[in-house]
Copies of this chain bind each other. A is one copy, B any other.
Amino acid sequence: MGELIEVTDPADPRLHDYSGLTDIELRKVREPAEGLFMAEGEKVIRRALTAGYPMRSMLLSPKWAEPMRALIDTADAPVYVGAEPLLEAVTGFHVHRGALASMQRTPALEAGPLLARAKRIVVLEDIVNHTNLGAIFRSAAALGMDAALLTPRCADPLYRRSVRVSMGTVFALPYARLESWPGGLHTLADHGFRTIALTPGPTAVDLPALRFGPDEKVALLLGTEGDGLSDDALAAADLRVRIPMTAGVDSLNVAAAAAVACYAIAAAPADS
């Protein structure tokens, strides 16, 4: 491998994976349907490969052929090289992260087997913003979570912006999408998880007071941007916790709140 294939026609069918990347609504449908996702830049592409996603192809401009040589040599897929105006015509934007790779999605994980082997998980209820989703995955992966469960309406962690914001850490955190919600909450109980709802509600327990048994299975529930967790999720949770805040500020962004809560769970002293 490592051979560069020159492309000159924006309509070249071999570049189909890369077309119209700025049309979010279209790509949100197309990418899962066609079984692909986009990785941008050497570090993120390498992390996708390390996580076991097969490469379908790579696309870059001539000036990046040398800097990307080591990656190109390991690529088990066609590597297309085109002038910058061609790349821009195909993708819809100026490609400035060196290389784009079209990666093959692998079969989705199922919640059951994932929950059977995980001990600390985040459950994301209808997080719809890709930037928040990528940031939450990055923090959760860094701060000791083993897995993520997504509600049916939660955004796609493999969408380009989520992947980029997470710096490829979305690949490091196994995840599964629940088939129903709030019905899926029962699955958590069935697998012995203690569910902890993060909410600014005044009746919730302060986060620093959290204690866990050494082998306790813990699921942190995080709600949608703006409205937070649904009443169903709050009612079903074993415990509601809040981040203590200074008077005058009523909430944190959900990605900041997720980072704080994951840290606090990881750092919580054991139940004595």
Which residues on A are within 8 Å of B, measured CB to CB?
A: 135, 138-139, 141-144, 165, 167, 169, 172, 207-208, 243-246, 248-249, 251-253, 255-257, 259-260, 263-264, 266-267
Question: Complex: how many Å from CA A245 to CA B138?
Answer: 11
B249-A169 in contact (CB<8A): yes
CB distance A252 to B172 under 8 Å?
no
Q: Are the C-beta atoms of A141 and B259 separated by less than 8 Å?
A: no
Q: Are A263 and B249 also in contact (CB < 8 A) when A138-B256, A255-B256, A256-B138 are?
A: no
A143 near B246 with CB under 8 A, answer yes
Question: Within the complex, what minimum Cβ distance (angstroms) separates A192 from chain B?
Answer: 22
Q: Are A249 and B208 in contact (CB under 8 A)?
A: no
Cα distance A267–B241 in the bound complex, in angstroms:
15
Give the residues in chain B near A143, CB-CB below 8 Å. 243, 245-246, 252, 260
- The reply to whether A252 and B142 form a contact with Cβ atoms under 8 Å apart is yes
**A169: chain B residues within 8 A (beta carbon):** 249
- A sample of 9 more A-B contacts (CB under 8 A), given A244-B266, A255-B255, is A138-B253, A139-B252, A141-B248, A142-B245, A143-B245, A144-B246, A255-B256, A259-B259, A263-B264
User: Closest residue to A206 on the B side, CB-wise?
Assistant: B267
Residue of B nearest to A144 (CB): B246
Nearest Cβ in chain B — how far from A131, in angstroms? 8
Contacts A263-B263, A266-B244, A267-B208 given: A249-B141 contact, CB under 8 Å? yes
Shortest A204–chain B CB gap in Å is: 15
Contacts of A249 in B (CB 8 A): 138, 141-142, 169, 172
- For the complex formed, measure the closest distance between the CB of A195 and the CB atoms of chain B, giving whole angstroms: 21
Among A135, A165, A207, A263, max chain B CB count under 10 A is at A263
Chain B residues with CB under 8 Å of A144's CB are 246
Cβ contact of A142, chosen from B135, B246, B263, cutoff 8 A: B246
Measured between alpha carbons, how far is A167 from B251 in the docked complex, in Å?
Answer: 10
A142 to B246, CA, bound (A): 5
Shortest CB distance A179–B (Å): 28
- Nearest residue (CB) in B for A249 is B142
CB distance from A41 to the nearest CB of B (A): 13
Chain B residues positioned under 8 Å from A263 (CB to CB): 207, 243, 260, 263-264
Contact B208 A135 (CB under 8 A): no
Residue pairs across A and B with Cβ atoms less than 8 A apart, 29 shown, are: A135-B256, A138-B252, A138-B253, A138-B256, A139-B252, A139-B253, A139-B256, A141-B246, A142-B243, A142-B245, A142-B246, A142-B252, A143-B246, A143-B260, A165-B253, A167-B251, A172-B248, A208-B267, A243-B263, A244-B266, A244-B267, A252-B259, A256-B256, A257-B259, A259-B260, A260-B260, A263-B263, A263-B264, A264-B267
